[in-house]
Amino acid sequence: MIAITGGAGYIGGHLTDTLIDEGYDVMIIDDLSSGTYVHPKAELKRFDLRGGNDLKLDGVDVIYHLAANPDVRTSMMDSIEHFDRDVKATFNLLEIARKNDVKTVIFASSSTVYGESRIPTPEWAPIKPISNYGLFKVMGEDMLRFYSNNYGIRGISVRYANVTGGRVSHGVVKDFIEKLRRDPSKLEILGNGKQRKSYIYIEDAVDSLIFLESYYKGKYDEFNVGNEDWITVNEIAQIIEEEMKLKPAHVYKDELEGRGWKGDVRFMLLDCMKITSLGWRPRLTSSDAVRLATRDLIHGYRKREN
């Protein structure tokens, strides 16, 4: 059986859908605090990983650890809450894995561990996070590496670029769409609009997790997962405006030297040669990922309204 922490959330929910479609038995471990989507064929264990590590997992060989604070910006507003959700919860999850003889733990990390680094950024680049979100992901990676070295758990840390797509709970695509739905005449853009980053579509993000579990045969490693191209915030706005058939005025809120918020990395493009050398590549470019995510979200809004 496969267990997914945060399986009622964004990436976890899509991963659950895919694995069940492929015939796997899936257990969701989630407290349902930030996501409530539960696949009807999944087994749900409602459990808050912040509260302890006494969870029994019979027959679980692989855990995808996706339960965490999903938002870089809010991590800078309530550091204690996010420490508990990201660091304390990861420690308890690893203790659960150790006690239940789980063979593999795959951890959803982030490109934010690098901070503002060389472009493109390889896995061996210096680790210098500039947000609590990135800092707590570094701590999660370090704990997984420790448990791998000391308890024999196979560990994989996946350093994602920006993941986008249907059911996304936050991020620039959702933010812009919601702003334009409220006021189609103008669009407030945080920062100077020149921030440039790589994006990956949710289906590609899920596919990379399943691929690495199958094809990485080592003891522990980190893998960048993103696209070879990148896109500016202004270009994202243009795509969304095209899809919504709007031409709003842009209002820039640039108070942090081009950053959208405190802790925002202005430029991010990952070197993904390590995973591509194993035979994996994303199907969609950054621009295509943003466009398809926009269509997914607009369709979702219309469906809920009808």
Among candidate residues 196, 174, 215, the one with its CA nearest the CA of residue 259: 196
Q: How far is CA 242 from the centre of its chain?
A: 26
Q: pLDDT tens digits, residue range 263-287?
A: 899 999 999 999 999 999 999 999 9
pLDDT at site 237: 98
Mind telling me the catalytic residues?
133
Which tokens in the block code for residue 306? 């009808």
Residue 220 has pLDDT above 90, yes or no: yes
pTM for the structure as a whole: 0.95
pLDDT at site 23: 96
Q: pLDDT tens digits, residue range 105-123?
A: 999 999 999 999 999 999 9
Which tokens in the block code for residue 279? 């035979």
- Rounded to an integer, the average pLDDT of 153-180 is 95
Is-contact 199 289, C-beta < 8 A? yes
- Give the confidence band of 33 by pLDDT, cuts at 50, 70, 90: confident
pLDDT at site 269: 98
Residue 126 has pLDDT above 90, yes or no: yes
Residue-averaged pLDDT of the chain: 95
pLDDT at site 223: 99
Residue 6 has pLDDT above 80, yes or no: yes
- Rounded to an integer, the average pLDDT of 3-30 is 96
- Rounded to an integer, the average pLDDT of 133-151 is 98
Among candidate residues 131, 233, 232, 231, the one with its CA nearest the CA of residue 179: 233
Residue 14 has pLDDT above 80, yes or no: yes
Q: pLDDT tens digits, residue range 180-209?
A: 999 999 999 999 999 999 999 999 999 999
Residue 19 has pLDDT above 80, yes or no: yes
Whether cis (ω within 30° of 0) applies to the bond prior to 120 is: yes
Q: pLDDT tens digits, residue range 34-87?
A: 778 899 999 999 999 999 999 999 999 999 999 998 888 888 888 899 999 999
Q: pLDDT tens digits, residue range 224-260?
A: 999 999 999 999 999 999 999 999 999 999 888 888 8
Residue 305 has pLDDT above 80, yes or no: no
- Rounded to an integer, the average pLDDT of 88-98 is 98
Integer Cα distance of 66 and 49 in angstroms: 12
Integer Cα distance of 28 and 64 in angstroms: 10
- For residue 133, give every residue at least 6 positions away whose Cβ sits within 8 Å of its Cβ, in sequence order, or none: 69, 71, 72, 75, 76, 82, 86, 110, 112, 263
Report all structural domains of the chain as residue ranges with CATH numbers, in order of start: 2-164+201-225 (3.40.50.720), 172-197+229-299 (3.90.25.10)
- Rounded to an integer, the average pLDDT of 150-169 is 96
- Rounded to an integer, the average pLDDT of 86-109 is 98
